[in-house]
Amino acid sequence: MAPYALKLALEAFVDPSAVIASLLCLVPALLTLGYAALCAASPFGRCRRCSGTGKRRTPLTRITRDCHRCDGIGRRIRLGQHLVNEIRREYRNGTR
Ligand SMILES: [Zn+2]
């Protein structure tokens, strides 16, 4: 009897659209947590300019040179990790 009464109470007081809306509110939070986990696990990403090769072909002469964006490394720091580093640096400078 108790589960049936609980089901009735839930149907009476919880609007299904409210449940859907509250689940949709979780999506940005989960995306943020996922990105934070990605930044913690892998702080560097592939350079977008050279696709991680570190080389760029000049448009006129077709000579390959080191990518200016990543200095030929092919990797860049992720925006989230860059923000974390900035905050840590600011905190360290402020408390020293
Ligand atoms: Zn690059």
Phi-psi region for residue 32, left (φ > 0), alpha (ψ -120 to 50) or beta? alpha
CA of 34 from ligand 1 middle (Å) equals 25
Q: What is the pLDDT of residue 4?
A: 83
Category of 13 on φ-ψ map: left (φ > 0), alpha (ψ -120 to 50) or beta: alpha
Q: What is residue 74's predicted lDDT score, i.e. its pLDDT? A: 94
| CA 57 / ligand 1 centre spacing (Å) | 11
pTM of full prediction above 0.75: no
Q: Pick from 22, 71, 81: which is nearest to 50 by CA?
A: 71
Domain ranges, residue 21: 2-95
Which residues have beta carbons under 5 A from ligand 1 (an ion)?
A: 47, 49-50, 67, 69-70
Mean of all residue pLDDT scores within the chain: 89
State the distance from the centre of ligand 1 to the C-alpha of 27, rounded, in angstroms: 32
Question: What's the domain count of the chain?
Answer: 1
CA of 70 to the centre of ligand 1 (A): 4
